[in-house]
Structure 1
Amino acid sequence: MNKLLLSISLFAAVVGVAQAQTKISGIAKNSATNEEVYNLTVRLDGMSSDAVLTDRIGYFQFVDVPDGTYKLQVFGVGFDPYEKTISVAGQKEIELGEVLLTYNPNNIDVGLITLNDDELSSDESSTSSSAGLLQSSRDVFARVAAFELGSYWFKPRGYDNKYNDVHFNGIRMNKIDNGRATFNNWGGLNDVTRRPDELTYALEPSTYAFGDIGGVTNFDTRPSTMRKGVSLSYSATNRSYRNRVMATYNTGLMDNGWAIMFSGSRRWAEEGLVEGTFHDSWGYFLGVEKRINKNHTLNFTTFGAPNRRSTGSANTQEMVDMKGIYYNSFWGWQDGEKRNERVRETYEPVYQLSHHWNINEKSKLLTTVSYQTGREQGSRLDWYNAPNATPNYYRNLPSWYLYNNDQEGYERQRENWINGSASQLNWNSLYQANLNVNKHSVYYLTNDVNEDKTASFYTNFKTELTDKIDIVVAATYQNVKSELFREVEDLLGGNYVLNYDDFNKYYFDENNKDYVARVGDRHEYNYEINRNYADLYFQSKIKGSFLDLTVGMRTSYTDFYRDGKFLNGLYRENSFGKSKTYDFLNFGVKSNFLFKLDGRNFISLNGQYSTEAPTADEVFPNARLHDITVEEGIVNAKILATDLSYVYRGPRVKARATGFYTKIEDEIEKGFGYIDGGEGQYFVAEVMTGVDKQYLGGEVAIEAQITPTIKVTGAAALGQYTYTNNPNYYLFSDDFMVDGGEAFKNYGTAYLKDYKLQTGPQSGYSLGVEYRDPKFWWVGVSGNYLTNNYLDVAPYRRTTNFIANTQSTVTEESLREVLKQERVSDEFMLNLNVGKTFRFGQYYLGTSLTVNNLLDNKNYVTGGFEQLRLGNYDNAINQHQQTLFGPRMFYGAGRTFFFNVYLRF
C-alpha cells in the first residue's frame, strides 16, 4: 500500500510539473493594415528552443514553456522590432492575442553576410579576383544578389568591397592599406556571424556609423543575443575546400548573470577544385558576458581564424585551350606530391571588451576597446641572375615560338604543355640550379608579409528625445602600426640570398651591404606605415505620420607616414627613415526620406555626399622601395550618391523598384606589371590620379506567395558603370632611376572616358520558384542570366605614348579596333536547392543541398584584365603577340555543390 501511495504521489507530481509547462501563442499583424503577417521570426529570449516563424494567418506558438520571465521578440523584413516581457508562473496557456507591428521598409532585418567561397581564398591572382562583398537578408533583391547572382561574381551596384564597412561591436574592421575587410579573419564562424545586429543596404542610414555607399554591417557578439544551446554541423563541397565542421555551445544568460559562448570550425581540402590548391582553415570564437545589473553589461570577445591556403593563376585563352579552366601554373611535382609556390597564410586575432549601459528606458551607451595583431603573408618564387622559371612566363608559352617563326618549336612546346612537362613548375630543376652554384640561392621562395597592430576605441550614444525624435552620436579613434617586409621562406637547397638586385645593380639595403638573408630573415624591402584615424558621427531621425526623415553627418581626420628601415641603393634620399606626414580632413552628410503612403506603399529617397581620404597604398605607389608620390594628385575623393525606391508590402506580394546614381571623383588607381612600349621594357607601378567614375542603374525585385507552399521570386539589376573622364597617368619604375632620371614619369592623359569599369557582370536577372511542404521539406529552382561583363582595360594603351614611334600606319578606325574593350559572353546558370528538417523532442536535425550551375556551364568568364606588355601599337596589331600577351582571365567554377547537415539542441 505504501508503494502504491508513493507511486500515485510521484505520478501526481509528474503530472503537476507537466501541467506547469505553459503554452504561449499569438497572431502577428500589421498595425497599419490590421492584416496578418507571414514568415516573421518569433523567439523567446531565455528559452533554449529555436525561434519559430509565423504561419499564413500570422499565428505562432511556443509549447512546454517552463516558469520564468522571458522576452518575446518579433522581427522581420521592413518591420520595427517588437519586444514584450512575459512572466510564466504556472499558467496553462497565455494567449497574447494580436501582436501589432509597425512596418518600416528601411528596417531590413538581416540574415547573414555571404561571400563566394573562392573569395575567402582570393588574392590578386586567384580565380575570383572580382568577387565582391555580397549582402543577404530577407529583402528580396538583397537575398537574390547574395545567393543567386552573387554566386557568379555579381556585385550589387558594381561597388568595390572597400565601400562596405564591417564592424564588430562598433569597431570597424576594414584594413588601412586598401580599405577592404579581411573576411578570412572570422572565416568559418557562421554561428557567430549568422545574424548581424545591423546590416544596411547601400545608402540606408545606420545607427552605428555614417557608413559608405555599400552599407554598414555590425555584429553584436554578446552571447545573450545569440542562440542558446548546442549546434553541430558538417558540410561537404567541391569548391575551394572539401569539408567543413562546426561546433558551437552557448549557455545563454544564466541566473548568476553570466553567459559564455564558444564556437569553433575547420575547413580543409587536400586539393580544391582548382589544380594544385589546398585549403586548411580553422576558426574560433569566445564570448564571455557578465550582466552586472539591469543597466550594466560587460562583454569580452576574442576570435581568430588561422588559415593556410594556396591560390590559382589567371590564365590567357591559349593556356585554357590547352589545359582547361582549372589549370593553375603555380604548382609542380616534388617527391610525388603537388607543391604550390603561392601560399597565403593569415592569422590576425581580435580582442575586444565592450560595456553596454542602459542609462534609462530611452538612452543607451555602448563603448568598446579593441586590439588586433598578427600577420598576413603570401609566398612566391623569386630568383637572382637566372631565367624566369614560371610556366606562364611568356617565353615559356608555345606562342612564343610562333612569334619567332619557329613552327617546329611551337608544336614541341605545345605538346610539352599538354602532357604537363612544361605547364607546371619543375621543382627539381630549381634545386639543381642552386646546387650547381653551391653558394647563394638563385631560386628561392619569399613571403610578402604584413604585420598589423591595431588599437581601437568606439563609443555610441543613442537616445529618444521624444516619441518622434531619435538621436545617435558615435565617436571612433584608431591607431595602426603596419610592418611590411619581404621574408625568405625557403632557400630551395641554397645557403643564403644576396642583398643585391642583379637586374638594376643596386643594394637593397645600403646600410648593410654585406648582409645575407637566410630563412626567416627580412630581404629586399622593409618599412612601416603608421596611421591615426578619428571620426565623429551624428544622426537624427524624426518620425511623422506621413514622413520619416533621417539626417546623418560625419567629420573625420586621417594621418599617416612611411618609415623605411632599408636604405635602398636607387632611392637613397627617399627610402630610409620617416617620410612626410600626410593628413586629411573629411566630412559627409546623408539623408533618408521615407514617405508612408499607406500601410502597403512606401517611397524612400536616400542621398549622400562625402569625401574620403586616399589610403596609404594609394599615396605611396611603390612603398616597398621609397616614399615618392605624385603630390598634386593626392587629394580627397568626392562621392555623390542617391537612390529612389518604391516599396510594396502586401500579404502575398512584396516588391521593390529602385533607381540609383553614384558619382565618384578624384580617386587614385594603381597597378603593377611589365610594359613593352616604344621606349623599352620596364617593370612599372602605374598610377592614375583624378579618376572619375559613374554608377547608374536600377534594381527590381518581386516575391509572390502563389499558394501557401509555392513562392515565386524574380529580380533584375541593370547597371552601367563607366569612367567619366580622362585621368592623369604616371609610371614609376626603377629603370628610370638607372637611366639617370626621376622615380616616375608623367605620361599626360589616359583616355578612359566611357570605358566600362571591371566590376563583374553589370546586369543580372534571376527567376526562381520554391516549394515548401508543411512537413518541413523544400525544393527550389532558379535560373540566372549574367550579362554586360567587361575585361579591365590597360590604361597605358590609352595614352599617346601607345602610338609614339610606331612603324605602322595608324588610322582612327584601326586604333579604335585595337583599343576596343573586350566584352565576355553572356551566360545562363541554373541552380537547385533542396532540404529537410526534423524535430525529435528538443533536438533539431536539418539537411540541405545546393547545386550551383547545374548544367555545368564552363564558358563563363567572371572577369579579367588586359596585359600591359602590349604597350605599343605595332605589338598590339601583331597576331602572335595578341595570343602571347592576350588578356588574363578568371573562369567560373563549373558545377559546384554544397551539402550541409546540422544538429541543434
Structure 2
Amino acid sequence: MIINVFCICFKKKKNILVMVLLMIFTSFSQGTFIKGGVIDAVSLQPIQDVSITIESTKQAVYTDASGVFMFSAKVPLGEQILRISKVGYTTKRYPIIVNENETVSIFDMTLERAVSDIQELFTISLSDDELDSDTSEFDNISGLLVSSLDVFQRTAAFEFSPSFFKMRGLDSNNSTVLINGIKMNKFYNGRPQWSNWGGLNDVMRNRELSAGLSPSSYNFGGILGSVNITMRPSQVKSGGRLTYSSSNRSYTNRLMTTYSSGLQKSGWAYMLSIARRWGNEGYQDGTSYNANSFFGSVENVINEKHSLGITGIYTPSRRGKSSPNTQEVYDLKGIKYNEYWGWQQGEKRNARIKEVVEPVLMFNHYWNLNNQAALNTNIAYQFGSIGNSRLDYNGTDLINGIPEGGGANPSPAYYQKLPSYFERNFPDDLEFAYGAQKQFLKDGQINWDHLYEANSLNALKGGNAIYALYEDRVDDRQLTLNTILNWELNDHIIWNASINYRNLKSENFAQVIDLFGASSYLDIDGFATNSDDAQNDLLNPNRMVNEGDRFKYNFNFLAREINTYIQTQFRYAKVDFYIAVGVNNTQYRRDGIYKNGGFPDYSFGKGKTLTFTGFGVKGGLTYKPISKHIIDVNASYTTRPPTLQNTYSNARENNSIVPNISEEKTATVDASYILRLPFVKAKLTGYYTKIANANTISFFFADGIGGDNAVFVQEILQGIETNHLGGELGIEAQVTQTIKLKGVASVGQFTYANNPNLFLTTEANDASKQAGFIDGFKDFGKSYLKNYKLAAGPHRAYSIGFEYRDPEYWWFGATANMFTNTYIDVSPLTRSLNFTTDFDGNPFNDYDEDLAAELLKQEQFDDYMVINLVGGKSWKVGNKYIGFFASVNNILDKVYKTGGFEQGRNANYRQLRDDNALETPVFDSKYWYGRGTTYFMNLYVRF
C-alpha cells in the first residue's frame, strides 16, 4: 500500500510534502517506540503535563491534553523503568520491557493525588526518631526503603520499623546513603547519621533506590542496597509548600516551608527549605526535642552540557534520650518510664542529651559529555560536632596525695535503690524493700537539687565538684571528593564507574558542661589506687578544670579512604545481566593528646597506621520469558574494613588495637520470582548471607571475673560469623478502582555460626591483676555462641492491609502486623569458660549442667500484633492544593518488647544462679518496649 502511494505521488509530481511525511511515517513504523497515556486513578480523566522519564537515560517527555505521550528517538532496549511525576500527584515508577523494532503501548497508567502523603507520614516519623537513635536497638534501613517500588520494602519501612525490624537481620551499615552522589555513611560505625538532614522532607523526594544487590549508577553499594537523594533545584518544578504537623511520638509540633524557583530562562534555579520541630517530651517521659533545619541550593545550567550547583545543609538538633530498664522498673513505673530526667525549677531536665550540629557544604558539577555519557564530579565538606551528655559522680579531692571523695550514683533506677536489692540483702526485714518501693513510686527521677547541694557543701570545706554534667564529644572534619561516570555504549550496554576519596579528622574528648555550682573539678580517675595511675593526663597532673574545658580523655582519629568501582549492565529483550567490581583502601590512626596514667607507654602521640584493603564483586541476571513473569538472581562476595568503632579496644585511654584485626567478609545470594499482572503484583524472594570475621566491642561493669572479682571492662568479641537465611513475600492487588489489598511476609533465621574469640581489657591495676589480667588484658578463649539467635528485631513479620481511595479525593487504610521470634541480646562473657571457672582456675565444685543450661537459655519475647490506621483528604483550590492526613499506630495499645540485652554483671555461674533464684533478680536483663497508641497529624498547603 505504501509503495502504491509513492507511485501516485511520483506520477502526479505535485505533493512532495506528502511523500516526505509518509517516508517519515514508514521509518517510524519500523523503529522502536514507547507510547502510552496517564489518567487520574479515581476520576479516570486524562492528565496533562505529566513528566515521563526513562530512568536509565534521563530522556523525558510530557503528556498532551489527552494525557498521551511518545518516545521515538534512541529508545533503550531491555527492562526499563518509566518515572511518572506531576505536582500534586504521587510519583510512580512503571517497569516495562522494550524489544527492538517493537512498540511498547501502555495506556493504563494511573496517578493518584496526594499519595505521597503516606510516604511522608512515615518518613517524618522514622527520620525524627528511630533513624536518629544512636543505639543499635533502633537501627534499621527504613530511610533507604521509603522510595522503593516494591510493596515488601515499603511495608518494611512503614509498618515494621516501629518494632525495630531489620531487613534480613542486617545492620544498616550494610546499606549506603548518598546525597547528590556523595556518600554520607560515617567512618565511625558505617551508618548514615540521619539527623544530618532531618526535617528536610520536601527536598528529599527525588530518590533513586537500588534495592539489595541490584546495580546502582553511583556506587558499588551495600548488600542491603543504596539510595541517592538528588537535591538539584533544576529538577524541581516551581512552587512552594507550607506544612504544620502534630504528634506524640518524638516531637509535638513541626513547621516547615519550602520553595523552589524551577529552572528559569536564565539557566538559574534555587531551592530553599526551613523547618522547626520541637516538644517538651514525646511518648517517653522527659524526652525533650528541639531541632531546626535549613537548606539552600543554587544551580546554574550553563548550557546543554554543563551545570554547576552549590548546596548547604544545616540541621542542629537536641533531643533527650530514654533509658532501657529492667522488668522490675517497668512493673513499678510503666513503659513510659525514663530514668534520665528529673524536675528542676518546675521543668523536666534530661541528663542524657544528644546534640548534633554537623553542617554540610556541597559543590556539584554535571557534565553531559554527549548524548550517551555523563560525568558528575562532587566535592563535599562536613564539619561540626556530636555530643552525648551524662552525669559524673566521681569528683574527688586530693588528701595527702590520694584521691578521696566521690558521690552516690544519682541514677534513680540504680540497683541499690530498688526493692530487689533490699529483698536480697535483707530477706528477713522487708520493711527496707517496702521503703525503697514507696520512694521509687513517689519520685523515681534524678534529684537535681541534691547535686547542687552536695557540691555546695563540699565547696564550703574547700573541696572540688563531686557531681558534674559533661558530654562525650566527637568533632569531625571530613572532605569528600568523587567522580561518577555513566556511559550508554549502545542500546544494550551501560557502563558505570566512580572513584571516591574521603579524609577524616575526628577529635574525641569529654567536655565539662555544668559543675552544679562548684568552681572546679579535679581531672583524675577516682578509682585508681596510686597517684600516677589516677592521672587522666600525666603531662598535666592533678589538673583542675572548669565548665567548657576538656578532660578525662582527648584523642584524634585520622581516617582516609580511596575506593573505586566499575560496573557493566547488559539489557536485552529476554534477559538483563550485570557485573560490578569494587576496590577500596582504608587507613586508620589514633593520635593520643593525653598521656593516660593507666597506659603511659601507649596512650600518647601517634599510634600505628592501620591499612585495610577490601574488594567486592557482584553480579545478577534477570530472565524475562514474558513481561508478566520474571526471574531475578543476584550474588556477591565482599571484604570491607572494620569500622573505627570496632578497631580500637579502648580508644579513649590508649592505642590498643583489637587482636588479629582484619577485613570483614560477606557472601550473599538471593533469587526472586516476580509476577506482574494488570491488577496483581507479587514478588517472592529467598536469600542467604554469610558474614565472617566481624568484631564488636562493648563496655560494662562485671562481677565474677576470675572468681569473685568485679572489674569495669571492655569486651571484645572477635572473629564473629553469622548466618542470615530467609524468605520474603510481597503481594498487592487492585481489586477495584478504589480498593487495594496487600500482604507481606518476612520469615528469617539469623544465628551465630561459630564460637568467636573473647578478650577483655581494663585498667592495669591491682584489682585487674587479681582477676588474672596481664597489663590490663585477658584472653578468655572462645565464647560459645554458635546457634544462638541474633538480636535483630523480629525474625518473622507479617502484614495484611487494605487501602480505599474515594473519587472525592479522600482515602483510608488499615494494616494488621504480626511479629514473632524476637530474641534478647545474649552476654558473650557468660558463654565463656569464665562462667564455669572459680578463682583458682578450676571448675566450680557445685556446677550443675542442667541448671546452667536453663540459666543460659536465650529469652524469646512474646509474639504480638499491632494495628495501624491512616487516612487523609486533599482539595484543589484554584492552583493550590490543601491536604490533611493522620495516622494512629498501635490503635489497640498493645504492650510489647522490641528488644533488650542481658546485663554482663553476673559473669559466672554462681553469680547468675544466685541472682536468678531471687523472686526479682537484682541484675535482670534490660528491655526496650514499643510505644502504645500514638498519632501523627499533618496539614499542608502546596502552591
1:725 and 2:754 correspond: yes
> For residue 441 of structure 1, what is the aligned residue in structure 2?
465
Deviations 1:808-864 (A, max 9, x none): 632332221010000111100111111111101210011111111011112x11111
Name the TM-score, length of structure 2 as normaliser. 0.86
Of 611, 614, 622, the match for 2:639: 611
CA contact (8 A) 1:508 1:568 kept: yes
Tell me the equivalent position of 1:853: 890
2:450 aligned with 1:450, yes or no? no
8 Å contact from structure 1 (residues 350, 373) kept in 2: yes
Q: Structure 2 vs 1, CA of residues 128 and 212 (structure 1 numbering), >3 Å: closer, same or farther?
A: closer
From the superposition, tell whether residues 36 and 363 of structure 1 become closer, same or farther in structure 2 (CA, over 3 Å): closer
Match of 2:10 in 1: none
Taking a change above 3 Å as real, the CA distance of residues 72 and 430 of structure 1, as seen in their structure-2 partners, is closer
TM superposition shift of 1:867? 0.2
Matched with 1:716 is 745
Go from structure 1 to structure 2 and tell me whether the alpha carbon gap of 1:334 and 1:468 turns closer, same or farther (over 3 Å shift): same
**Contact 1:121–1:309, Cα closer than 8 Å, also in 2:** no
Q: Distance in 1 between matches of 2:918 and 2:196?
A: 44
Of 654-663 and 380-389, the range deviating more from structure 2 = 380-389
State whether residues 702 and 714 of structure 1, in contact with CA within 8 Å, keep that contact through their aligned partners in structure 2: yes
Partner of 2:47: 61
Question: Cα distance, 1:463 vs. partner?
Answer: 0.7
Q: Displacement of 1:73 after TM fit?
A: 2.1
For 1:417, the equivalent position in structure 2 comes to 440
* Mapped partners of 1:648, 1:771: distance in 2: 23
Deviation track 1:142-191 (CA, whole Å, cap 9, x = no partner) reads 11111112232112111101111111111111111111110000000001
Q: Following superposition of structure 1 onto structure 2, how do residues 275-674 of structure 1 map, counting pairs within 5 Å? A: 275-384=285-394, 385-404=406-425, 405=427, 406-420=429-443, 423-438=444-459, 439-505=463-529, 506-632=534-660, 634-674=661-701
Letter paired with 1:890? W
**CA apart distance, 1:56:** 9.3
Q: How far apart, CA to CA, are the structure 2 residues paired with 1:53 and 1:564?
A: 63
| Partners of 2:131 and 2:140 within 8 A in 1 | no
Mean Cα deviation higher: 467-476 or 150-159: 150-159
* Larger mean Cα displacement after TM superposition, 481-490 or 735-744: 735-744
Give RMSD over aligned pairs. Answer: 2.4
Whether contact under 8 Å (1:498, 1:515) holds in the other structure is yes
CA contact (8 A) 1:132 1:153 kept: no
Letter of the structure 2 residue corresponding to residue 814 of structure 1: L
Q: How many angstroms does 1:329 deviate by?
A: 0.5
Tell me the residue number matched to 1:26.
Answer: none
1:588-632 per-residue CA deviation (whole Å, 9 max, x = no partner) reads: 001110001201110000111000101122111210000112332
- Structure 2, unaligned stretches of length 5 or more? 1-30, 84-91, 94-115, 395-405
Aligned pair partner of 1:817 in 829, 849, 854: 854
Q: 2:98 — aligned with what?
A: none
- SS state of the match for residue 547, structure 2? coil
1:357-383 per-position Cα deviation (integer Å, ceiling 9, x unaligned) = 001000000000010000000100002
Q: Mapping of 1:62-81 within 5 angstroms?
A: 62=48, 72-74=51-53
> Is 1:901 the equivalent of 2:930?
no
For the Cα contact (< 8 Å) 1:130–1:863, is it kept in 2? Answer: no
Q: In the TM superposition, what is the alpha-carbon distance from 1:494 to its structure 2 partner? A: 1.0
> Which amino acid letter does the alignment assign opposite residue 904 of structure 2?
L
1:170 aligns with 2:216: no
1:211 paired to 2:197: no
Q: 1:245 aligns with which of 251, 255, 261?
A: 255
Equivalent position to 2:792, from 730, 735, 759: 759
The answer to whether the 8 Å contact 1:536/1:555 transfers is yes
Q: Output the CA distance in 2 between the equivalents of 1:242 and 1:349.
A: 25
Query: 1 CA distance for matches of 2:417 and 2:886?
Result: 43
Is the contact made by 2:830 and 2:908 (CA closer than 8 Å) also made in structure 1? yes
Letter in 2 for 1:411: Y
- The 8 Å contact of residues 172 and 191 in structure 2, kept in 1 or not, is answered as yes
Cα pair distance change 1:710/1:768, threshold 3 Å:
same
**Which residue is equivalent to 1:235?**
245
CA–CA separation in structure 1 for the residues paired with 2:306 and 2:33: 38
1:189 and 2:225 correspond: no
SS in 2 for 1:184: helix
8 Å CA contact retained: 1:499, 1:507: yes
Whole-Å separation in 1 of the counterparts to 2:539 and 2:410: 31
The answer as to whether partners of 1:642 and 1:660 remain within 8 angstroms in 2 is: yes
Provide closer, same or farther for how the CA distance between residues 94 and 756 of structure 1 changes in structure 2, counting only shifts above 3 A. closer
> Which deviates the most, 112-121 or 608-617?
112-121
CA contact (8 A) 1:719 1:762 kept: yes
Q: 1 CA distance for matches of 2:192 and 2:230?
A: 17
- 8 Å contact kept, 2:780–2:834: yes
User: Is the deviation greater in 356-365 or in 396-405?
Assistant: 396-405
1:254–1:465 distance in 2 versus 1, CA, 3 Å: same
Which residue is 1:254 aligned to?
A: 264
- One-letter amino acid of the structure 2 residue matched with residue 595 of structure 1: Y
Secondary structure at 1:548's aligned position in 2? strand
Distance apart, 1:104 and its partner CA: 3.8
311 and 287 in structure 1: CA distance in 2 versus 1, 3 angstrom threshold = same
- What are the Cα deviations for residues 792-811 of structure 1, in whole angstroms up to 9, with x where unaligned? 00100000111112766323
Q: Which residue of 1 aligns with 2:106?
A: none
| Letter of the structure 2 residue corresponding to residue 294 of structure 1 | E
Q: CA deviation at 1:84?
A: 3.9
1:140 aligned residue: 151
Of residues 180, 204, 226, the one that matches 2:236 is 226
Deviates more, 1:220-229 or 1:711-720: 220-229
Instruction: Check the 8 A contact 1:189/1:265 in 2, yes or no.
Output: yes
Q: Distance in 2 between matches of 1:135 and 1:756?
A: 25
Q: Which moved more, 1:807-816 or 1:547-556?
A: 807-816
Residue 898 of structure 2 corresponds to which residue in structure 1? 862
One-letter amino acid of the counterpart of residue 756, structure 2: P
| CA positional deviation for 1:124 | 3.4
Q: Is contact 1:121-1:240 (8 Å) kept? A: no
Q: Name 1:780's counterpart in structure 2.
A: 813
State the alpha-carbon separation in 1 of the partners of residues 80 and 262 from structure 2. Answer: 31
Q: CA offset at residue 210 of structure 1?
A: 0.4
- The answer to whether the 8 Å contact 1:184/1:346 transfers is yes
Query: In 2 relative to 1, CA 223–684 (structure 1 residues): closer, same or farther, beyond 3 Å?
Result: same
Paired letter, 1:472: N
Q: What is the rounded CA distance, in whole Å, between the counterparts of 2:485 and 2:139 in structure 1?
A: 39
Change in CA separation of 1:36 and 1:409 when aligned onto 2, cut-off 3 Å = farther
Q: Is the 8 A contact 1:673 1:683 kept in 2?
A: yes
1:193 positional shift? 1.4
Whichever residue aligns with residue 175 of structure 1, its letter is K
Instruction: Check whether the contact 1:504–1:738 (CA below 8 A) recurs between aligned residues.
Output: no
Structure 1 residues without counterparts, runs of 5 or longer: 1-30, 43-51, 66-70
Q: Secondary structure, in 3 states, of the residue corresponding to 1:313?
A: coil
C-alpha change, 1:169 and 1:789, in structure 2 (3 Å) is: same
Q: Is residue 2:860 matched to residue 1:826?
A: no
Partners of 1:547 and 1:656 lie apart in 2 by 18
Aligned structure 1 segments of 4 or more residues deviating by more than 3 angstroms:
31-37, 52-57, 79-88, 92-114, 127-134, 735-740
Cα distance in 2 between the residues matched to 1:426 and 1:87:
66
Aligned counterparts of 2:689 and 2:173: Cα–Cα separation in 1: 15
Is residue 891 from structure 1 mapped to residue 926 from structure 2 by the alignment? no
For 2:694 and 2:293, how far apart are their aligned partners in 1? Answer: 36
For the 8 Å contact 1:80–1:107, the answer to whether it is kept is no
**What is the TM-score when the length of structure 1 is the normalising length?**
0.89
